[in-house]
Every structure is written in C-alpha cells, then in structure tokens.
Amino acid sequence: MLATIWNTIFFNPLLNLMILLYDFLGNNLGLAILGIAVIGRLVMIPLVKKQTAMTKKMASLKPELDKIQKKYADNKEKLSQEQVKLYKKTGYNPLGCIGTFIPQLIILSALIGVIRAVTNSDLEGLYPWVVELTEIGENTAINTKFLFWELTTNYKEVSAEFGKFSLKALPYIGLSVLVGITQYFTTIFTQKMQQVGAPKKKEVKKKNPEEPLEDIQEKMQKSTMLLLPVMTAFFTISMPAALGWYWMLQSLLLVIQYLSLDFDKTKKGIQNLLDILNKKK
C-alpha cells in the first residue's frame, strides 16, 4: 500500500520526467540529471524563501533573546516560558526548518531511487504516452556514459577492478572529492550570507554554567558544516557516479538560487566572505 502511494506520487512522475529530459537532450543522462536538479531547485524556491525568512527573523530576535537569557539565567523554567512567548509574539517557529528539510529529504529519496532505476535500465513505471513519445520502453538500454564517468559505477567498483590509483579510477575519486568540496564551500557561502545584517554577538559572562540553546545550535551547525560534506563524499565513493554528479549540481545550484532570490544580500554576503578571506591573509 505504502509502496504504491510512494510510486504514484513521487517515484513514477520523477522517472517519467527523467526519461523525457533524457530523450529531449539527445539521450544524454548527465544532462537529464542536470535538468532534474534545476527543476528540483525551482520547486524548492518557496521553501527556501520560507527558510530564509525564518533565518532573518531569528537574527532580529537575537538581542531580545540575549536579554531574556541574561535576566532569567538562574531560572530555566521561566527562561523557557519567556522564549516561547517571544516566539509566539513574533511568529517565529524554532522547528520551522523541519518543514523545509522534510520535503527536500523526500525529493532526494525519490531521486536516488529514480537514478538507480534509470542507470540499471529498470524503467517499469513509465507512462504509456511517455513510451509512445520517446520510443523508450522497459527493455530500452539507457546511455549511461557522461564526460569522464560511467554513471552506473563508482570508485569502489572501478578501483577494485583496475587499482585504487589507476587512470580509470581517478575520475571517480575526483568526483567524490569535488562533491565534498562544493558542498562545504556552498555551506560556508550560504551561512555567511545569512549573517548579513544580523547583530554581532557580544561576549557575555554567564552565571548559569549551562549553554543557551542558541549557542548549542551554533556549535552543532559548525560541526555539521564539516561533517555533512565528508559524509557525502564518503557515500559517493560507493554509490553510482550519477548520484555524485547530482549532489555536486545541487550544491552549485543552491548558490545560483541565492543569487536570484536576494541579489543585494548576496552581494553583501560575497563581500563579507571576501573581507574574511582578506583578513586571514
């Protein structure tokens, strides 16, 4: 029952869209995945706008939250109550990011399944009109070669056959490294832009030895900023190159999405990032 619902609402529509793009773009699976990534980013625009609005609202609330934390540092229950009141008053939802994360996770899960199905030429689920239009059916072999990669294979498989540092394996390990690097720098880029216009954090001596929730969240974000790219690069080593190509595109397209949604803020964010890099020099 659940599998039928999943296939009907998510998997089959994405599978058919992938095949339509593949046919339209000259039987090029790499370009079809690029098309899917672009369409996915366009679909996510409302959610990204909502997430950005929540980030801005959180930045505006920071001074008030600092006052509350200082005032009720010795009364955790009262501190929690006052924080909830402030959130309700301003319409800020601390769990709002979950509402944007879950749809992204659903889309990614469906796309992983579609990419695996297409690279394995498992095309069950194609609509009759798509088969008629593209002349691609369940038994059609899909061209899975793109640039330096055979999109159905990965570094782990290629290195096992030809050697870890063979010429055939290098493009695949290179893809994994590129995936991690692009995701890492995209995360830094988006975080720096989100900090534009936010009040600078002041150092405050806390009476309460326990860290405020916001400080804990900030530390978690910094850890995640490094951990996620490493994990993604690691997973790419043993997953089809098609998925690594998609992940890399998603990171690059996220930067373009920020440019298009808030160009003025993006310019300030870029300048902010350049100032930081110049100071380090």
pLDDT reported for residue 220: 58
pLDDT reported for residue 210: 47
pLDDT reported for residue 203: 45
Which residue positions in the chain have pLDDT lower than 70? Answer: 51-61, 72, 75, 89-101, 191-225, 261-281
Q: What is the pLDDT of residues 214-244, one digit of tens each?
A: 455 555 556 666 777 888 888 888 888 888 8
- What is the count of structural domains for the chain? 1
pLDDT reported for residue 274: 59
Provide the residue range defining the domain that includes 189.
2-280
Q: What is the pLDDT of residues 116-142, one digit of tens each?
A: 888 777 888 899 999 899 888 877 888
Report, in this order, helix, strand and coil percent for the chain, each rounded to 5: 75, 0, 25
**Neighbour-count burial for 204-231, b at 16+ CB within 10 Å, e otherwise:** eeeeeeeebebeeeeeeeeeeeeeebee
Task: Round to whole Å and give the CA distance between 122 and 100.
Answer: 31
- Using DSSP, state whether 13 is helix, strand or coil: helix
pLDDT reported for residue 137: 82
pLDDT reported for residue 198: 47
pLDDT reported for residue 178: 92
- Using DSSP, state whether 252 is helix, strand or coil: helix
Q: What is the pTM of this model?
A: 0.72
H or E segment at 145?
strand 145-146
